[in-house]
Amino acid sequence: MAYFKELKADIVIIGGGIGGCSAALAACRTGKKVILTEETKWIGGQLTAQGVPPDEHPWIENFGATKSYKTFRQKIREYYFRNFPVITCQRMNPYFNPGNALVSKISHEPRAALAVFYDMLAPYLHSGKLTLLLEYKIESAETILDYVESVTVVHKWTGDRIQLYGRIFLDATEMGDVLPLAKVEYVIGAESQKETGEPHAVPGEAEPYNMQSFTYCFAIDYIENEDHTIEKPELYDFWKNYQAPFWPDRQLSWFGLVPHTLEPVEYVLFEQPGKFSLWKYRRIIDKTNFEKGTYESDITIVNWPQNDYWLGPLIDVSEDEKEKHLYQAKQLSLSLLYWLQTEAPRPDGGTGYPGLRLRGDVLGTEDGFAMYPYIRESRRIRAEFTILEQHISAEIPEKKEADFFADSVGIGCYRVDLHPSTGLDPYIDFSAYPFQIPLGSLLPIRVENLIPANKNIGTTHITNGCYRLHPVEWNIGEAAGYLASYCIDKNIQPRAVRANENRLRDFQSILVKAGIELEWPKIHKV
């Protein structure tokens, strides 16, 4: 029988992804009592439950990330060195990359990230400063005027409900799920050019349901001369023949688009000279890094152009519509695997790779998929300050660096990288300068005691494309955690920090002492 109870803490964090975990670390380090909820079985978000290896900027090994994020990366390497027979030459490599992926300097298994998250949170879980509620999803929120009083979460399987009380609440969910329930003003989808003045915004009217595609990732390895072919998926015939109007071929093919030029490109599975290898793209284990026999095969994550799903959004639609899109997205991923196993053209003139094996164990699931879809775009608060394309674009004539934000709470760097959207727009992909994270983008225009701690800050559809990656989400969450703690110590609300220059400088000094860089070195601004 389901029960109902109440819990109280200084800070309540809804969402245990990258931002939620880094926020919890920051708040607990400053002595606050924290409740952290997560709707899946795994904390860690993109790095664990979504199965997405880190996307990072070129200087990540030296600077351009918070001290705690650097610690996380080092602990990933130590996890493999401590527990696995890593070959000697790689043990001596300070930049050891378990998967040697094309996309990441430290691609690794989701379970490794999960272990490291628990390792970093261990002192606070053991001491009781941190209460972790797994498989709990937000159901409702109580507000009085401009304040959140409590939120209620419900257990995914038992129906147990817990009402959570706190002084400050953080929305670290993947889709900004707290915002509508707490009556926080927010934006979804694509703004118009007349709203934001952004060159890449949509002409005409805003398109709120035009959002980036999402992806159901899965893990595979390859066992030569074995047959691991799955049953034919229910929607295979649909996906086998589907071709978007902007795509150069059917989606289940070796062809895609170069994101920044929109020119057709041909992919291959395994490495061939002069070709882009999808196998190596997001490989999380390169078996040659380990002593012979440790792994039967490399392991790779399938988060490819072929399984991006853009036929409908998940945000602010009916439950039936949401379930339909989740189902169809899983069917797309399953269909891609079946096509790879049975019909994909091979370089030797044959078809199919039946030795491809679905590895649900890598992602902690029975069906082989990540526990949660990879979400690229969230609800976004209407913020005191909204980051626009004009602030960070490297394509604006005469602009030599990103705008300077005096209220910076961190930094990040990535291209503006928007995947094909539910409005059937192709990629939007262009260079951005290394940028700062302004405190104003973490402050809702009205609600006082709620702080975004994920991809739900004050960006636009366009700028979300570079503020959504792993190190930036970590920095956003960490800054939000320190901000909440600072406000409790000073008995003020978050917007009061930005409104007073002395308080702002005091708060920024705390961030700097914690190892959060507030601006880029001059030599890396061009």
Domain of 151: which CATH number? 3.50.50.60
pLDDT level of residue 523 (50, 70, 90 thresholds)? low
* Mean pLDDT value of segment 108-117: 98
Quick check: is 283 in a domain?
yes
Answer whether residue 524 shows pLDDT above 60: no
* Mean pLDDT value of segment 177-199: 98
* Mean pLDDT value of segment 4-30: 98
The domain in which residue 520 lies consists of: 4-46+130-191+378-524
Do 356 and 384 fall into the same domain?
A: no
Structural domains of the chain, count: 2
Show which of 363, 391, 415 is a domain's final residue.
363
Do 239 and 349 fall into the same domain?
A: yes
Which DSSP letter does residue 190 get?
A: B
Structure tokens at 476: 């956003």
Do 186 and 316 fall into the same domain?
A: no
The whole-angstrom separation of Cα 461 and Cα 525 is: 24
Structure tokens at 520: 């880029």
The whole-angstrom separation of Cα 507 and Cα 513 is: 10
Q: Read off the pLDDT of residues 375-415 as tens digits, 9 standing for 90 and up.
A: 999 999 999 999 999 999 999 998 999 999 999 999 999 99
Answer whether residue 525 shows pLDDT above 50: no
pLDDT at position 238 is: 98
Helix residue spans in 278-417 (DSSP H)? 278-281, 319-342, 389-392
**Pairing between β-strand 408-412 and β-strand 435-438 as defined by DSSP bridges:** antiparallel
Show which of 363, 398, 416 is a domain's final residue.
363
pLDDT at position 512 is: 98
pLDDT level of residue 21 (50, 70, 90 thresholds)? very high
CB-CB contact of 367 with 35 (8 Å): no
| Helices (runs of H) and strands (runs of E) counted in the chain | 14, 24
pLDDT at position 2 is: 84
Show which of 363, 396, 427 is a domain's final residue.
363
The backbone region for 209, taken as left when phi is positive above 0, alpha when psi lies in -120 to 50, beta otherwise, is alpha
* Coil, helix or strand at residue 17: coil
Quick check: is 96 in a domain?
no
Structure tokens at 25: 């670390």
Do 404 and 504 fall into the same domain?
A: yes
pLDDT at position 3 is: 85
* Side chain identity at residue 332, one-letter code: L
Quick check: is 466 in a domain?
yes
Do 32 and 169 fall into the same domain?
A: yes
Quick check: is 76 in a domain?
no
The whole-angstrom separation of Cα 10 and Cα 64 is: 30
pLDDT level of residue 192 (50, 70, 90 thresholds)? very high
* Mean pLDDT value of segment 85-114: 97
Answer whether residue 526 shows pLDDT above 60: no
Neighbours of 274 (CB within 10 A): 5
Report the chain's mean pLDDT, rounded to a whole number. Answer: 97
Answer whether residue 207 shows pLDDT above 80: yes
DSSP E strand boundaries for 9-167: 11-14, 34-38, 130-134, 136-144, 147-155, 161-165
Q: Which residue is it, tokens 């351009």?
A: 64
* Of 17-26, 121-130, 258-267, 516-525, minimum mean pLDDT range: 516-525
Do 387 and 347 fall into the same domain?
A: no
Q: What is the distance in angstroms between the CA of the first residue and the CA of the last residue of the chain?
A: 61
Do 386 and 356 fall into the same domain?
A: no
Residues pairing with 144 in the sheet: 147
Quick check: is 145 in a domain?
yes
Whose CA is closest to 73, among 98, 106, 103?
A: 106
Answer whether residue 487 shows pLDDT above 80: yes
Do 343 and 439 fall into the same domain?
A: no
Q: Read off the pLDDT of residues 442-464 as tens digits, 9 standing for 90 and up.
A: 999 999 999 999 999 999 999 99
Do 187 and 311 fall into the same domain?
A: no
Do 273 and 354 fall into the same domain?
A: yes
pLDDT level of residue 225 (50, 70, 90 thresholds)? very high
Quick check: is 204 in a domain?
no
Quick check: is 150 in a domain?
yes
Question: For the stretch 370-402, what's the b/e string if a residue is b when 16 or more beta carbons lie within 10 angstroms of its beta carbon?
Answer: bbbbbbbbbbbbebbbbbbbebbbbeeeeeeeb
* Mean pLDDT value of segment 271-283: 95
Do 394 and 490 fall into the same domain?
A: yes
Quick check: is 72 in a domain?
no
Structure tokens at 468: 């959504």
The whole-angstrom separation of Cα 506 and Cα 504 is: 5
HSE-up of 510 (CA within 13 Å, CB side)?
21
* Mean pLDDT value of segment 333-357: 97
* Coil, helix or strand at residue 99: coil
* Mean pLDDT value of segment 24-49: 98
Nearest-5° Cα angle at 504, 501 to 510: 145
Do 30 and 137 fall into the same domain?
A: yes
